[in-house]
Amino acid sequence: MLQLMTMHRTTANRLSLLFTSAVLVWSAAWAADQNSPVEFGPRWKVGQRLSYALSTVQDQKITSAMSPQPMDQSSRQTQAYAVTVEKEREGGGHELAVEFTGLSVESSLNGNTIVQFDSKSDPKDDAGNQAAAIMRPIANAKFRILTRANGKVDAVQGLKELLAKVSSSGNPMLAAAMESIVSEDAVKQMGIVPNWFPGKPVKPGDQWPVRYEVAAGLLGKIAVSQTLTFKGWEEKQGRRCVLIETKGYLSSSPTSGTTTNLISISSLSGDTKGRLWYDPELGALVESNEAQNMRMKMKAMGQEASAQMTQSVTNTLKEVAVAK
């Protein structure tokens, strides 16, 4: 009996050691995988459809000689869009069909609503809404993005006609503001084709710089200079994602004003920080959050003014499907 008990204990100890060894091996492999270099890049699959929701919240406090009290302006905007990978291009790259599937905008000045539109509303009610003439075409916009073999944007097609509709709406101030949504530069900055790839494999702890310009409607072009840091791995929406933190600065050269000469910017500066989650297996952004603070000096309708502005932008993957 004693010998049998000893044999059981020996067998149990061996199994325990084997299990412990397996756990250690798995843990070591997992840790090695967590610290292995990752190569970023789109992995477009023909027929794949990715749906996103892009939300922007903006608040401004404007002071000028025109008003004895500061003016508080706020804006809330949500834009839904879908990207379908239609085909591969000869020589590499892909052709992407982009469709705006929804748009809601609400802006207020000193607590009073001045612009309101929701593409879910009945088009029959557009006659009483000055913003609808501009925003209804944007809400239903369709265009194409052609990418190169290296994943970068080669061209954006189909925006010319849309921009013409926006420009001829009869409301120059609102048209200039909304053009920033559908300009080629704006499309490139939506994140459909990411502009922040490091261009080489990176591992947790690595940093790299990113610099680009953003078309900002009435504000002209804003130069963005950022440092990105690969923080590690994190689960997001049930996906194993790379977590990247961003931090940087914003600036703008003086502008000569819009085509209507309503606003010109003499100086703009600010800072930006955020986080983004990227799924290397999917080859696409899963979510990003960015917060910006800006300070501006401008001339509005001939009057000197200054503004403090905060803005938060969130882009969220809603669905991955196969196009019908």
Cα dihedral 251→253→256→259 (10° resolution): -50
Nearest to 129 by CA among 158, 99, 103: 103
- Characterize the bridge pairing of strands 284-300 and 263-279: antiparallel
Q: Are 261 and 229 in contact (CB under 8 A)?
A: no
Look at residue 260 in the predicted model and tell me its pLDDT: 47
Q: For the chain, which residues score pLDDT lower than 50?
A: 1-9, 15, 22-32, 257-260
What is the C-alpha separation between 83 and 96, in angstroms, rounded?
6
Q: State CA 2 to chain mean position distance.
A: 70
Please give the C-alpha separations between residue 285 and each of 77, 135, 267, in angstroms, as whole numbers.
Answer: 20, 26, 33
Which residues are within 8 A (CB) of 138 and not within 5 positions of it... i.e. 6 or more apart?
100, 103, 162, 166, 178, 181, 182
Q: Choose among 62, 57, 51, 39: nearest CA to 84.
A: 51
- Render pLDDT for 4-13 as a digit per residue (tens, 0 to 9): 344 444 555 5
pLDDT for position 10:
54
Token pair belonging to 103: 């748009």
Going by C-beta distance under 8 Å and a sequence separation of 6 or more, which residues neighbour residue 146?
Answer: 89, 93, 94, 95, 96, 153, 154, 155, 156, 157
Beta bridge partners of 235: 240
Q: What is the DSSP letter of 193?
A: S
3-state secondary structure of 288: strand
- Its pTM stands at 0.81
Phi, psi angles (nearest 5°) of residue 159: -95, -20
CATH number among 2.30.230, 1.20.1050, 3.40.1350, 3.90.550, domain 39-322: 2.30.230
Specify the 3-state DSSP secondary structure of 104.
strand
The pLDDT value recorded for residue 5 is: 42
**Which helix or strand (DSSP H or E) is residue 304 part of?**
strand 303-322
Q: Where are the alpha helices (DSSP H) in the chain?
A: 2-34, 132-139, 160-167, 172-182, 184-188
Q: What is the pLDDT of residue 174?
A: 65
The torsion region of residue 40 among left (phi > 0), alpha (psi -120 to 50) and beta comes to beta
Residue 92 has a pLDDT of 86
The predicted-structure confidence for 87-126, as pLDDT tens digits, reads as follows: 999 988 999 999 999 999 999 998 899 889 999 999 888 8
- pLDDT value of residue 254: 62
Interior/surface letters 145-183, b for 16+ CB within 10 angstroms, e for the rest: bebeeebebeebeebeebbebbeebeeeebbbbbbbbbb
Query: CA distances (Å), 273 to each of 19, 102, 112, 214, 249, in order?
Result: 44, 27, 30, 16, 9
Positive/negative CA dihedral, 34, 35, 36, 42 = positive
241 contact partners, CB below 8 Å, separation of at least 6: 233, 234, 235, 277, 278, 279, 286
